[in-house]
Amino acid sequence: MSKRTEIQDELKKVLSEEPNNTDKILKLSQEIARLDEDKIRFSVDAGVIDRLGKELVARHETAVSELIKNAYDADATSVTLNFINADDYGGTLTITDDGNGMDREQLINGFMRISSSDKIHTPVSPKFRRKRAGRKGIGRFSAQRLGNKLTIITQTSSSKVAFKVSIDWSSYKMDEDLMLITNTIEEIPKDKSKTEGTTLIINDLRDWWSEAMIKRVYRYALDIIQPFPLSKQKLKDGKIEDAGFTITCLKDGRAVANEESMFFQHALAEIEGGIDNKGKGFWRITESKVDSVTEEKQYIEGEYNKLLGGVNFKAHYFIYNLGQIPKQVESYIRETAKTSGGIRMYRNGFRVLPYGEPQNDWIGLDESIRRRSILPVHGNINFFGFVEVDGKISDFQELSSREGVLENEAYKQLVDFLYKSLTSAVIRVAETRGRKTSTNQEGWESKKPKTPKDAVESAVELLENVATELEKDSETSSSTTDEEKAKNSKRQEQAKKAREQAEDLKKALEQIEELNMLRVLAGLGLVIGEFTHEINQYLPAFAIDIKVLLDKLKEGTEEYEIALRMQKRFHSFQVYTAYFDETISANVNRELKPIELRDAINPFIDSLGRDLTRSNITIEKEITGIDLFTCKMHPSEWASILFNLYTNSKKALKRANPPQKRILIRAGELDNILYVEFIDNGDGIPDKNRDRVFNAFFTTSTPKNRLTNSTTELTGTGLGLKILKDIIESYSGEIFLDNPPKGYSTNFRIELPKAKKEDIPDDNF
């Protein structure tokens, strides 16, 4: 009897006696298929799950943001992430959304099917018609990248039960057949607190998570966050339009990143107000970054005849280009303000269009800027807010088209109240900041002495106002003739130049604030430069004297060996000196240029030479990719970056004293961003210090005056990493602590923008 016949007989027996033993039936069927002499079939090794997870999702922050995007694609209005016991490896991450959920078929043919075509066939979501944000089919690999075990709990609004699937990724081993690995699916009672949604529970996390990492996840997902609308929006056909999407990131149940902490916290002021039961309108500033701004109610002149009873509003006020908002966040806020800025109207919890839509200046804020009677910036782009109108107010009547309300006396009073409240609050903030508030304001100069910083900030605000006016003029123009189109194009160009000038002034402002530190560092640089110059005068004489000693002394003697060691150490000293001399000489040329990462890393490693040997440290490098040119930088800055990281690693290695002291430098490109990782196997950084190491004056080194007999102990001032952070962030980059690879304890990761092709010299191609 042939092997094929034996297996066929066994399969018949299983089908007869164990019809529900699907695993055995599949295994026997595959064995029969392999014995087919006329046809062959592709098979899939289970190890592909692990390989695809690592290759498709290299970064753990990217993996989490992909899962957030999956929630968005499922029509969720909110998603909550909770990192539990995640200060070390092995923690838990739960991701809960209120999206559409999945039924059994969607679980099997969607999530459990590799390279599912669902997002190709349905490029928009079913409920809110959202354009799919997640990368096709990457969700399951993101979950695998993050942890060793995954539990999915999901329910739809129409299903009577919820489904629970448990996956142990360690089962997907090499040399195992993917089709033969099973996962448990079971029906469980629905969560009564919600009608639909999905929860992912990822256990045994492969990485630890600091608060900074969690905040980066939030920033990675900023492109799909819609801070507004704040309430549901009813369309003409009675359906509900997209109600927005919010993300909340928790660590052990405590909020780390959400709209309030990552978006609205950067507002210069939070303004709220309403109409009291006497028909009096009031406003107050509840939160502000400006000192001494009152939080007491400020009443608006005039009676509102109780037509606006029950009206209340809230607005966040932003001023851009002052250096008060991190660059990455400010860019996002500003772009969002173009489509979602201004004050939106809600009635009975539903959005009323078109109030607060782009180009809808219903309160007259942009028009007020063009009049220039009030000088502080106060256009729609400077506010994110809403006004809630009580549905019981009969005077507010929606038009039959459901587009807007009847512009009657109640509507006019509402516009008047909001305009007066917002501009009064803006004027109050400006006065406290020592800014001129109107063109006819008399005696203003004598009220508050103007510092250079105040002058720069005032100029920036003026340029921002000019840019906003030019943009609004071009947007409201009909542009029907070639002449008008040319005027609009010129206005846009002028607006762009005004913003660029504001950016230049902001940089000047930052320089003003750093002048004292720069003076100290400049003085230190002069001392180092002079010291290096003087040392170079003695180097030739030292070299000659050592050679004479070696020529005079007899080989094999103790004295000869001492002179030989002296020559080797002197050579190491020469390499160090040459490296610093070249770096200091480069400072003469202040031109910034793209730096190829190899041109920064290789000379640095070469200069360490003898010091690595003497300290018993092995250094390795892994540089992948070609043309790794950074944005325009100064060459000497890389010397500061790499030497600072090296001295930190050296201290950590000395404290830990492992059998093999190792440093690994990795560099490459990922998603058009260049990265450098400086990794060591020293004593590591305690989780309580991970978010503090970049703070000024934070150090774990022993002060010099507390040393006893040691002459090799390295000390620190606590400024090194802060200075590196400032250097890197000045180029819109980031430096942060990341998870180290296996066998290492600390990983400082630097990310920088890649150079534009036109900035790279032609001889590099």
Beta-carbon contacts of 232 under 8 Å, excluding residues fewer than 6 positions away, are: 240, 241, 243, 349, 350, 351
Residue 684 identity (one-letter amino acid)? G
3-state secondary structure (DSSP) of residue 595: strand
pLDDT tens figures, 269-311: 999 999 887 888 999 999 888 876 767 889 988 777 666 777 8
Reported as a pLDDT band with limits 50, 70 and 90, residue 539 is confident
First to last CA, the chain: 67
Q: Tokens representing 112? A: 């459990």
Q: What mean pLDDT is predicted for residues 495-521?
A: 63
φ/ψ (deg, to 5) at 735: -130, 135
Least confident of 432-441, 612-621, 746-755: 432-441
pLDDT of residue 709: 44
Higher local confidence (pLDDT), 83 or 563:
83
Nearest Cα neighbor of 586 from 575, 576, 597, 578 is: 578
In the chain, the percentage of residues whose pLDDT exceeds 90 is 30
Q: What mean pLDDT is predicted for residues 184-200?
A: 92
The structure tokens 């762009």 sit at 496
Long-range contacts of range 232-238, CB-CB < 8 Å, 24 or more positions apart?
A: 232/349, 232/350, 232/351, 233/350, 233/351, 233/353, 234/350, 234/351, 234/402, 235/402, 236/401, 236/402
Reported as a pLDDT band with limits 50, 70 and 90, residue 419 is very high
Q: What mean pLDDT is predicted for residues 622-633?
A: 92
> Which residues share a beta bridge with 168?
149
Reported as a pLDDT band with limits 50, 70 and 90, residue 230 is very low
| DSSP assignments along 113-169, one per residue | STT--HHHH--B-TTT-PBP-SPTT-HHHHHHHHEEEEEEEEE-SS-SSEEEEEEEG
Model pTM score:
0.69
pLDDT tens figures, 359-414: 899 999 999 988 888 988 899 999 999 998 876 666 777 765 556 888 888 888 89
Taking a C-beta distance cutoff of 8 angstroms, is the pair 645, 656 a contact? Answer: no
Residue 19 identity (one-letter amino acid)? P
Nearest Cα neighbor of 100 from 63, 133, 71 is: 71
Rg (CA), the chain: 33
Average pLDDT along the chain: 80
pLDDT of residue 188: 95
Higher local confidence (pLDDT), 320 or 15:
320
Q: Is the pLDDT of residue 513 over 80?
A: no
Helix (H) or strand (E) holding 717: none
Q: Is the pLDDT of residue 668 over 90?
A: yes
pLDDT of residue 135: 64
Q: What is the DSSP letter of 92?
A: E
Reported as a pLDDT band with limits 50, 70 and 90, residue 585 is low
pLDDT tens figures, 10-20: 777 777 888 77
Q: Tokens representing 430? A: 């400006």
Pair type for strands 254-257 and 593-596: unpaired
Nearest Cα neighbor of 383 from 438, 324, 338 is: 338
Higher local confidence (pLDDT), 703 or 324:
324
pLDDT tens figures, 18-75: 877 777 777 777 777 777 777 767 777 777 777 777 777 878 998 999 999 999 999 9
Distance (Å, rounded) from C-alpha 299 to C-alpha 286? 15
How far does CA 439 lie from the centroid of its chain?
41
Taking a C-beta distance cutoff of 8 angstroms, is the pair 430, 376 a contact? Answer: yes
Pair type for strands 350-352 and 232-234: parallel
Q: What mean pLDDT is predicted for residues 90-95?
A: 97
pLDDT of residue 126: 86
